[in-house]
């Protein structure tokens, strides 16, 4: 049995135990969390404006599957350009915490990726390498002229990231002369084992691509939403973070199955 398979078995065992605990305590925990439903933690437009004080940032170093925040977190004092906030090799986090014991969180992001660059989104834990963390990343790869979405968690040795699932996002009528891809993404972290994602690439003809991953461990602590850029140019344009009721599995997963492609892991 491979080390990857062993990690997945261990992840599943932890997942089942904590899902049962979550189910047993749902009614009690929901009494304190239900008042947060539909509450916006932040609605930020980075285009041509100062970054609000709700964000702080740091330098991010990424080598293979190892991710490390360098230096101290500091208040962001950048004045954004007309394109937005340049995020290459940087990470920002929202100071408002996210509750996931019985609720979900919806993160909407409008951003641009240039060739060989990545946007990373963290929705669980308070640090990039927290056990039980969740990472959703979108990568634009020049060699194969494609854009991919990847799900993972820091469950490897030294809390290195292990990626469970990778899918290519269909691009219709893609213009090869276009240097960047504009992307609108909605992440719904359901707070249990599931994270749902819908992505729209702003190409000439673009449909909404939907997918999900159910390999995550429930989080019973306060969580921090973080966004990071890796590579040549990652430009963050708009972000909103909102607490939401959980989604049932039905319609979202069925839609996701119809649009899945290039399942590698």
Read off φ and ψ for residue 4, nearest 5 degrees: -65, -45
The least confident of 13-17, 40-44, 171-175 is: 171-175
Which of 23, 92, 11, 98 shows the shortest CA–CA distance to 58?
92
Q: Is the pLDDT assigned to residue 260 strictly greater than 80?
A: no
Give Cα 246 distance to the centre of its chain: 17
Which of 142, 130, 85 shows the shortest CA–CA distance to 224?
130
Residues 144 and 138 sit within 8 Å (Cβ to Cβ): no
Q: 162 or 178, which is more confident? A: 162
Please state the pTM of the whole predicted model: 0.89
d(CA 122, CA 127): 9
Q: 247 or 166, which is more confident? A: 166
* Cα→Cα distances 43→37, 49, 90, 137, Å: 16, 13, 20, 21
First to last CA, the chain: 15
Mean pLDDT, range 195-215, rounded to an integer: 86
Q: pLDDT (tens digit, 9 = 90+) per residue, 51-66?
A: 888 999 999 988 776 7
* Predicted pLDDT of residue 261: 37
Q: What are the structural domains of the chain?
A: 3-259 (2.60.120.200)
* Predicted pLDDT of residue 259: 40
Report residue 78's pLDDT band, with 50, 70 and 90 as the boundaries: confident
Report residue 175's pLDDT band, with 50, 70 and 90 as the boundaries: low
Residues 210 and 218 sit within 8 Å (Cβ to Cβ): no
User: Residue 241's CB: how many other CB atoms inside 10 A?
Assistant: 22
Q: pLDDT (tens digit, 9 = 90+) per residue, 137-166?
A: 999 987 777 899 999 998 877 778 889 899
């Amino acid at each position: 049995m491979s080390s990857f398979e062993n990690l997945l078995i261990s992840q599943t065992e932890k997942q089942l135990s904590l899902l049962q605990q979550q189910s047993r305590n749902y009614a009690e925990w929901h009494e304190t969390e239900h008042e947060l439903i539909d509450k916006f933690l932040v609605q930020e437009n980075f285009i041509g404006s100062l970054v609000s004080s709700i964000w702080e940032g740091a330098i991010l170093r990424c080598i293979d599957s190892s991710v490390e925040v360098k230096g101290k977190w500091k208040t962001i004092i950048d004045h954004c350009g007309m394109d937005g906030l340049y995020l290459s090799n940087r990470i920002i986090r929202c100071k408002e915490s996210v509750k996931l014991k019985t609720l979900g969180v919806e993160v909407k992001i409008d951003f641009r990726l240039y060739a060989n660059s990545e946007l990373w989104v963290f929705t669980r834990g308070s640090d990039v390498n927290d056990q039980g963390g969740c990472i959703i990343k979108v990568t634009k790869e020049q060699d194969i002229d494609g854009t991919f979405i990847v799900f993972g968690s820091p469950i490897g040795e030294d809390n290195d990231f292990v990626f469970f699932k990778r899918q290519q996002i269909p691009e219709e009528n893609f213009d090869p002369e276009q240097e960047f891809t504009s992307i609108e993404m909605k992440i719904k972290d359901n707070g249990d084992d599931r994270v749902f994602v819908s992505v729209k690439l702003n190409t000439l003809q673009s449909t909404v691509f939907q997918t999900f991953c159910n390999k995550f461990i429930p989080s019973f602590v306060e969580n921090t939403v973080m966004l990071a850029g890796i590579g040549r140019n990652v430009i963050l344009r708009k972000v909103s973070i909102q607490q939401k009721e959980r989604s049932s599995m039905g319609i979202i997963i069925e839609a996701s199955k119809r649009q899945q492609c290039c399942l590698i892991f």
